[in-house]
Chains A and B, each alone.
Chain A
Amino acid sequence: MNDKIRNLFVLVIVLFGALIFATSWWTVDELGAKGLKDNTHNRRQLLEQMQHPRGLILAADGTVLASNKRAGSGETKRYYRRYPQQGLFSHAVGYYFVSKGSAGLEKEYDDQLAGRENEFASTIDQLLGHRQEGEDIRTTLDVKGQRVALQALAGRRGAVVALEPSTGRVRVMASVPGYNPNRITAKGGIGAGASTLNRATQGRYPPGSTFKVVTASAAVDSGRYTPNSFISGKSPKVISGVALNNFGGENFGAISLTDALTHSVNTVFGEIGEKLGRATLRKYMVRFGFQRKPPLDYPRNEMVASGAFPIKGCGSGIDFGRVAIGQECHLFATPLQMAEVAATVANGGVRMKPQLVERVVAKDGRVKQSFRPKEAATVMSRQSAAAVGQMMQHVVEEGTGTAARLAGASVAGKTGTAEIPGTSENQVWFIGYAPADKPRMAVAVTIERSQGEGGTVAAPVAKQVLETLLGKAATESG
């Protein structure tokens, strides 16, 4: 019987070998474990993440924009995201919920907020008994400015973006309609009329006459024109083979470039665009940041590129005579892009990389990452920028943008009123910066489907935002 018992033991070894093989199959990634980890019904990794508090998201002044709510204790302890400011910074901050995914800065800075370092470092940390801890991110966002921007928009669909010209820091990023991130997981959803679309970075709007700042920059910096160049402002004028009218059909004689910007004369800029040609205009557009997604620290799928693109239903050729006045079917721009245009002029022709986060701070106070201002491109010479800035100052002082005038500081700006084909409504704009002599803040405001014009509807919003961001004292004494 003994040899039979030995055979039986061999059979047991075979059976246990099968068990070891099966266990290896389910635990080794290269075999079957990867498939299990990626299985949509496997919620373990998400649940594990919820066991650690995420880092806080703070405004520039330290106001908490995203925090955690703890539920349960011990092994059932879980952390859920809470947004104390409700919908104030909904689009910029975004949201993070295991069941709904993430958006905005919550998504862009997920690794830092979750405290995920590279695998090697986290293994060492684990061995040393350190707990995985989320890092806080300090944003560049200004609570007061944001609140005023939303109040000034007063429920009208549109967006406001404010940037520091010399640093690229985003101080205001407002988009209406917004949503309350705390309601993302609610049964009824974020509610009717709310929207997660960030119009500041995803709104594809015709830029209208605000684009004339780009055209004017190209005109002056290319050396083909000066602010005092005289061009005929008659209306209508044939541009690219089709008659172009001034706003209200107004007829101007020979008029300086400065005056043409001040009064937003279409036929002058149409002619300049045609004369500069597509290559030159495109070159300056690219320098300003058009034609590609902005280098903002924000999820790429929540931003669109501004510029002139082939669009179905707009015909084949792009008419650069009409791109020059910002009213061309193929051309659209986001409020963020137009704010960058204003900021570039304000910053002496140097475009700064826009930035939403100033630094990442560990729980023990160590600064893990600090984002210094970075130049994105030199768009034009300092002299050209000064000249264009001068022209923009005239717009606010005596032209279409007087509603943006501040009591204590001079403002440079440009209005825009893009007609929406087939309706009597306009896409109204104001872009600008202040103080004109020593720029500290640039702004872009746009409102959808307005009956009014940029100068009467958008400029007052910009004025309030600038006033708040510069501070009452600065505007009164400066």
Chain B
Amino acid sequence: MSARNRELFGLIPASLLVTGGFTAVLLTRVSNVHNVTLTYGAIFLGCCLFAHLFIRWRLPNADPYLFPLTAVLASIGLVELYRIEESFAIKQAGWFALGIVFFCLTIVFLRDYRVLERYRYTIAAGSIGLLLLPRLAGQATNGAYLAIHIGSFSFQPAEFAKIGVIIFLASYLRDVREVLVQGRLPRISLKHMGPLLVIWGASMVMLIFIRDLGSSLMFFGGFLALLYVATGRLSLVAAGAGMFYLGAWFLTNHISHVHSRVEIWQHPFQPDLVEGKGYQIAQGLFAQADGGLLGSGFSQSLLYLPGGHSILPAPHTDLIYAVIVNELGLFGAVALLLTYLLFVRRGFKAALVSGDGFGKLLAAGLTAVFALQVFVIVGGVTKVIPLTGVTLPFISYGGSSIIANFVLLALLLIVSDAGRQRPELRGGVVP
């Protein structure tokens, strides 16, 4: 079977999830069934089919599993958002359509990803500018500067910046990796160590300015992953990790916002925290305990208090993983994490088959940062690390996140398409 036909069949699980999930949610709301609600599912499936045809046309050799896995994740997100609040699902379906548009535009305008190398400093400057934007023009949410608000829209620049930073690092490291690999540590000049220090500094600045432990962990982790892939030198990675740890430790003790985040993480059930600052993480954990092994089923969990407020703060963004565990149980959550893991595996596969260093670093970096983003938010909700306001890719509500991750997906598919049509791989070696 051709790669594209495999992709088409791969969309079946997503379409079943969407129809099954929406039906389940609808059944629990016998009182107000709107036929309209089914159209959001139809829009979603239409988008999927369109994207598939587009890939068939423009990237015929691209990895056949990445897009269907994305569709599965997005369908779970859409159903859960519909369950949380109908208006979220309507808007998310719109964002999904817009994400597909950006996905197609990326593929159309970026026929050869190597073009990106030429603009690396512009992209780097733009990314840092994006990261600092919320601090300059935005308002803090729970003490962190993550979004800027334009009218009724809020825009999360970090989602786009993460792609820009990875593009820059991939192209920069491809240039200097020979030096970093061969040179002995003391001989590596400041010129070559420069980016390491700059990125470390940038992460620290982000911590100070954006005040968000999670996103700086994501950026710096992505950087270390790329450094490791480019040089293979664990000593550099260890040095970098040590510097990050030192910086984080210093900031934890000197910035009250970061300090209180860590405090809440360690003792969410302390009487003075559980109804206040620790409420979000505590309620998230209570919801997961409620889910148990099999979960309560779509739309069956307790979500709303008598006053109409949600018992979980931010159930559609930060805590959507807790809602999923509540409704689909441990089994559903493990299935979700495995879906992400499969996505990561296919992302790394694209890096493995890529024929040039930039493509390898780009795909590996984007995949690593994607995996880290999942780890940061799910780890936060399950109390593995302090909870921070990062979205769960393709599932959490939000336009910036959806669009940025579709651009990320487009880049992975472009790298994959180029790699898999290399003549030396033709002949059935491609898995």
Interface positions of A (Cβ within 8 A of B): 1-2, 4-9, 12-13, 15-16, 18-20, 22-29, 32-33, 36-37, 39, 41-42, 44, 47-48, 50-51, 71-72, 74-76, 78
Pairwise interchain contact B302-A22, C-beta atoms closer than 8 A: no
Chain A's closest residue to B340 (CB) is A16
The A-B contact count (CB < 8 A) is: 135
Pairwise interchain contact B330-A28, C-beta atoms closer than 8 A: yes
Within 8 A of A (CB), among B358-393: 360-361, 364, 368, 371, 374-375, 378-379, 382-384
Complex Cα spacing A78 to B361, Å: 55
Instruction: Pick from A2, A4, A27: contact of B228, CB below 8 A.
Output: A4
- Return 5 A-B CB contacts under 8 Å, by A number: A20-B337, A23-B378, A26-B325, A39-B282, A50-B306
Complex Cα spacing A255 to B225, Å: 108
Interface 9-residue window, one of B1-9, B129-137, B204-212, B284-292: B284-292
Chain B's closest residue to A38 (CB) is B289
Pairwise interchain contact B269-A76, C-beta atoms closer than 8 A: no
- Tell me whether B352 is interfacial, beta carbon within 8 Å: yes
Pairwise interchain contact B344-A5, C-beta atoms closer than 8 A: no
- Tell me whether B333 is interfacial, beta carbon within 8 Å: yes
Which of B302, B379, B383: most chain A CB closer than 10 A? B302
- Tell me whether B334 is interfacial, beta carbon within 8 Å: yes
Pairwise interchain contact A19-B378, C-beta atoms closer than 8 A: yes
Pairwise interchain contact B31-A74, C-beta atoms closer than 8 A: yes
B325 partner residues in chain A, CB cutoff 8 A:
23, 26-27
B220 partner residues in chain A, CB cutoff 8 A:
none
- Tell me whether B329 is interfacial, beta carbon within 8 Å: yes
A50 partner residues in chain B, CB cutoff 8 A:
306
Complex Cα spacing A348 to B285, Å: 62
Complex Cα spacing A6 to B329, Å: 31
Pairwise interchain contact A76-B352, C-beta atoms closer than 8 A: no
Pairwise interchain contact A4-B229, C-beta atoms closer than 8 A: yes
Within 8 A of A (CB), among B250-305: 269, 274-275, 282, 285-293, 302-305
Pairwise interchain contact A9-B348, C-beta atoms closer than 8 A: yes
Pairwise interchain contact B285-A13, C-beta atoms closer than 8 A: no
Chain B's closest residue to A24 (CB) is B330
Which of B290, B361, B374: most chain A CB closer than 10 A? B290
Pairwise interchain contact B292-A27, C-beta atoms closer than 8 A: yes
Complex Cα spacing A13 to B368, Å: 11
Pairwise interchain contact B379-A18, C-beta atoms closer than 8 A: yes
- Tell me whether B230 is interfacial, beta carbon within 8 Å: yes
B330 partner residues in chain A, CB cutoff 8 A:
23-24, 27-28
Complex Cα spacing A25 to B382, Å: 9
Q: If A37-B289, A44-B311, A47-B305 touch, does A22 touch B383 (CB 8 Å cutoff)?
A: yes
Known A15-B375, A76-B305; 5 more pairs at CB < 8 Å: A5-B348, A19-B374, A20-B334, A36-B289, A37-B286
Chain A's closest residue to B383 (CB) is A22
A9 partner residues in chain B, CB cutoff 8 A:
344-345, 348
Pairwise interchain contact B334-A23, C-beta atoms closer than 8 A: yes
Chain A nearest CB, measured from B223 CB (Å): 13
Complex Cα spacing A5 to B345, Å: 10
- What are the 5 tightest A-B residue pairs by CB atom distance, in nearest-first order? A22-B382, A36-B289, A33-B289, A75-B304, A27-B330
B379 partner residues in chain A, CB cutoff 8 A:
18-19, 22
B341 partner residues in chain A, CB cutoff 8 A:
12-13, 16
Complex Cα spacing A33 to B384, Å: 15
Chain B's closest residue to A75 (CB) is B304
Pairwise interchain contact B289-A26, C-beta atoms closer than 8 A: yes
A37 partner residues in chain B, CB cutoff 8 A:
286, 289-290
B431 partner residues in chain A, CB cutoff 8 A:
none
Instruction: Pick from B288, B308, B352, B383: contact of A5, CB below 8 A.
Output: B352
Interface string of B212-250 (1 = CB under 8 A from A): 000000000000010011101000000000000000000
